[in-house]
Amino acid sequence: MPLQSTPRPAAVMTALLLLPLVMASTPAFALPTIDSNAVHHAAIQARSVHLDAPARVRLADSFHALVSIPGGSRAEHAIRDECRLRLAALGARDIPIADSLSNAPVNLAMRLDGIGALSNHPALLLNAHLDTLVVSTPQHLAFDPATGDFFHDLEAERSEISSFGGDDRSGLVVVLEALRHLHLRKPSHPAPRTPILVLLTGSEEIGLVGAKHLARHHPRLFEGIGLSITIDGPLDYETAYPSERLVAVVSESDAQHQPYAGILRLLAAHASAAKVGWSRSEVGLGKGDFAAFPAHVRPGLHFRSPVRGWHRRERVQVQDLVHHVDLLIDVIQRWPEATAR
């Protein structure tokens, strides 16, 4: 529904009835105390080919909010519910995946209809994982105004775990904010777009449990998908940062063929326009949810998340969040043309 339209009385009543539910499900976790002014300053200073300053500030605030919600493997209910609310606000519909298995992992599947001439095109699957390492400590989140980095305030102490949950909350926020940008732009004349299936998975860190569960027990979810893009890892991989900020992980052989060759060309064109360095790697192949997805959804290429460092010494720069959202916006808009034969 366009933002300007007047809600119908029935919709207002439904919203009022749902309000207590929404309020009850909004997690009441205290945000780590970091200087929001410094975060906003970094966002305003960041370069973007798609996001204006308010959208960049919103992106940085969204990352701060999502990374502040604890949610290690098998404890993703709060972050799952928050993502569901944010996607529903963009018009996404929940796909029921509840099952009777008492130990079923926490997952979220939501679908956005296609728009215009691309309404009946195969869908794009967007994936990130909901869980962090169980040992992550988001209460230690800090922000470095000099570098524009979110970091862990115990990163200098080698004996301490220094993951605050940037893996994969940065992937989640990239997916959510790219979709938000497209939702808000020209609401009365939206650009044609393929349908989108957002699959946010639980228990990735303990063996791709959520993704394997969906592939095995909910195979119909994967019908009609033309391409799958995950935003995650590889963490144990050093790039020539900051001259390489965007990384596509794909095998040498897949890189020569569609749809991956087209996505790599799209990445190169995007990077040139955005004046950001990129690279390609095979490090991380087979180590993420995409490895559990069926081959017919074309899960052979994924983008490294904005996290630098390892499961220790995580760092996420505001500028890199912006670069990744910019890239995903282009992928969502251009993949049908880029991957056409």
Least distance in angstroms from the C-beta of 95 to Zn ion: 23
> Residues with Cβ < 8 Å from 20, sequence gap 6 or more?
none
Tell me: does residue 232 bind Zn ion (CB under 5 A): yes
Residue 314, interface with Zn ion (CB under 5 A)?
A: no
- Burial class of residue 46, CB neighbours in 10 A (0-12, 13-18, 19+): buried
Pick the piece of the chain touching Zn ion (CB under 5 A) from 114-122, 138-146, 225-233, 279-287. 225-233
Task: State the nearest-atom distance from the C-beta of 286 to Zn ion, in Å.
Answer: 13
Least distance (Å) from Zn ion to the CB of residue 129? 6
Q: How far is the CB of 167 from Zn ion (least distance, A)?
A: 4
Shortest Å, Cβ 322 to Zn ion: 20
Total number of residues binding Zn ion (CB under 5 A)? 4
Which of residues 106 and 182 has its CB atom nearest to Zn ion in the complex? 106
131 binds Zn ion per the rule CB under 5 A = no
Long-range contacts (CB closer than 8 Å, 24 or more residues apart) made by 319-323 = 319/42, 319/46, 319/47, 319/148, 319/245, 320/245, 321/59, 321/60, 321/63, 321/170, 321/173, 321/174, 321/177, 322/43, 322/46, 322/47, 322/48, 322/51, 322/56, 322/59, 323/245, 323/246, 323/274, 323/276
User: Given the complex with Zn ion, which of 81 and 204 has the nearer CB atom?
Assistant: 204
Q: Which stretch binds Zn ion (CB under 5 A): 12-20, 149-157, 166-174, 193-201?
A: 166-174
Which one of residues 167, 177, 289, 330 is an interface residue with Zn ion (CB under 5 A)? 167
Q: CA 295 to CA 61: how far, in whole Å?
A: 36
Is the CB of 167 or the CB of 314 nearer to Zn ion?
167
CB of 168 to Zn ion, least distance (A): 4
For 92: left if phi > 0, alpha if psi spans -120 to 50, otherwise beta; the answer is beta
- Residue 126: CB atoms within 10 A of its CB come to 26
Binding residue for Zn ion, selected from 131, 168, 177, 314, defined by CB under 5 A: 168
Q: Which residues bind Zn ion (CB under 5 A)?
A: 167-168, 232-233
